[in-house]
Every structure is written in structure tokens, then in C-alpha cells.
A and B are shown apart, each in its own frame.
Chain A
Amino acid sequence: ILNVEQSPQSLHVQEGDSTNFTCSFPSSNFYALHWYRWETAKSPEALFVMTLNGDEKKKGRISATLNTKEGYSYLYIKGSQPEDSATYLCASFKAAGNKLTFGGGTRVLVKP
């Protein structure tokens, strides 16, 4: 993996169902993995910053796991609600250039 990739690009979820999606990133020279939620017409909002292999973080019904050795992170939404509809972005931090490299995002639409 040379770039940060997210899959799927979009998904539709029925209200009350749980879902998860993937962020893949280069495992070499890994420093940190960031997750953001971006609702339409709002600013991206930070969810998690993860650094250690095996890390698990939770915020309400949203949680994330991190595997730095194989270069992937999963984001889980439990019991999806319409307000969870947003684009979820992940980004890997690269020390060279002090930059966050973002994936293309997973657009989640929760249907009532």
C-alpha cells in the first residue's frame, strides 16, 4: 500500500443496523492514524487519533481498531442512527513533511 485507501466509497445502512468500513495505509514509518467525521455543510470533526498496534478507541456508538503491522484500521458504528450519516475520513501522519495523508472517505447514509 503506497497511499491511504478507504473502502467502500459509500454505503447505505438501515437505521438500527451496525456497520463497519476499512482504512488501509502504508505500514512502514507509521506514526499515527486519524479518523474524522464530516457532515454535509459542516467542518470535519475529529473522532480518534490512534498510534499503537492493537489500539481500540470508542466514542459513543462509534469505535475503531488499529493494526499497524498490516496497515489497516476499522471503524464500527453500532446501531446506526440517521445522525450518523456523514463522510468518514481517515488520515495517516507522515513525519516527512509533517503532513496528514487522507483517504478518499467512506460516505455513510443511514436510512430511517
Chain B
Amino acid sequence: ETGVTQSPTHLIKTRGQQVTLRCSSQSGHNTVSWYQQALGQGPQFIFQYYREEENGRGNFPPRFSGLQFPNYSSELNVNALELDDSALYLCASSLRGGASKETQYFGPGTRLLVL
């Protein structure tokens, strides 16, 4: 059983650019959630994908978008990067979307720096 993996591990972009982060879910999991963790804060929920459909969204602007593929891997896309987008981006997979008792299994994160 493989765990959740994310790529790349680190990334540096400049303001206004676009970025794509990738996440491979744990084997057998059909749900992926994305979180942003700014320095000194807890992870903030961005959105969740369940069977290739968005299944919930936090308070993030539309320039944060995502995709989930038939193999349940997922991408997070951020357009028009701003300095405040600098953060650790975590993805987590789980067996079922929208289930309060489901444990989420986290990847190691992608550290994004926007200059």
C-alpha cells in the first residue's frame, strides 16, 4: 500500500505566474482534499474532490482551482500568484468524501515561495 505523495517538494515562482501542484492519493482512496498552511497557522481547507467532482470548497478565490483524474490523483492550480500564496500546500486522501469520521491521510506537502 503506497502512501500519499506530492510533487514537487519545493517551488519558487514570481508574482503573477501560475503554478500546478500534484498529489497521488493512497491506494483505494477516491477523495482528495487540499489545504494551505501559512506560517504559524493551522492548515486551511481549500477544496475537496470526490470521484472527479468538486465536493466542498473553503474560502479561497476562484484563481485556486483543481482537478481529479480517473485514477483519483489530483492537481491544484493557482493562477495570478500573489505574495500571500507563499505557504505549504498539503493534500490528503480518504476513502469517502464528505464523511465526518473518515481519517485523512496526508502527503508531505509542497512548499511554495512566491517572490
Given A98-B48, A99-B58, A102-B43: A43 and B3 interface contact (C-beta under 8 Å): yes
- Chain A residues whose CB sits within 8 angstroms of the CB of B102 once the complex forms: 49
Tell me the bound Cα distance from A61 to B45 in angstroms: 30
Tell me the bound Cα distance from A80 to B42 in angstroms: 24
Shortest distance between the CB of A76 and any CB in chain B (Å): 20
Shortest distance between the CB of A66 and any CB in chain B (Å): 13
Binding site for A on B (CB under 8 A): 3-4, 33, 35, 40-45, 48, 55-58, 90, 92, 97-98, 100-109
From B57, which residue of chain A is reached at the shortest CB distance?
A: A97
- Indicate if the CB atoms of A49 and B48 lie closer than 8 Å: no
- Indicate if the CB atoms of A43 and B45 lie closer than 8 Å: no
Q: Which A42-78 residues sit within 8 Å CB-CB of chain B?
A: 42-46, 49, 51
- Indicate if the CB atoms of A99 and B105 lie closer than 8 Å: no
B42 partner, pick from A4, A31, A42, beta carbons under 8 A? A4
Tell me the bound Cα distance from A32 to B104 in angstroms: 13
Tell me the bound Cα distance from A36 to B104 in angstroms: 10
Binding site for B on A (CB under 8 A): 4, 6, 31-32, 34, 36, 41-46, 49, 51, 89, 91, 93, 95, 97-105
Tell me the bound Cα distance from A42 to B107 in angstroms: 8
- Chain B residues whose CB sits within 8 angstroms of the CB of A45 once the complex forms: 106
- Chain A residues whose CB sits within 8 angstroms of the CB of B57 once the complex forms: 97
- Indicate if the CB atoms of A89 and B43 lie closer than 8 Å: yes
Tell me the bound Cα distance from A51 to B107 in angstroms: 24
Shortest distance between the CB of B6 and any CB in chain A (Å): 9
- Indicate if the CB atoms of B105 and A46 lie closer than 8 Å: yes
B104 partner, pick from A31, A34, A95, A105, beta carbons under 8 A? A34
- Indicate if the CB atoms of B42 and A104 lie closer than 8 Å: yes
- Indicate if the CB atoms of B101 and A49 lie closer than 8 Å: yes
From B6, which residue of chain A is reached at the shortest CB distance?
A: A43
Most buried by A among B35, B100, B103, B105: B100
B56 partner, pick from A6, A91, A99, beta carbons under 8 A? A99
- Chain A residues whose CB sits within 8 angstroms of the CB of B108 once the complex forms: 41-43
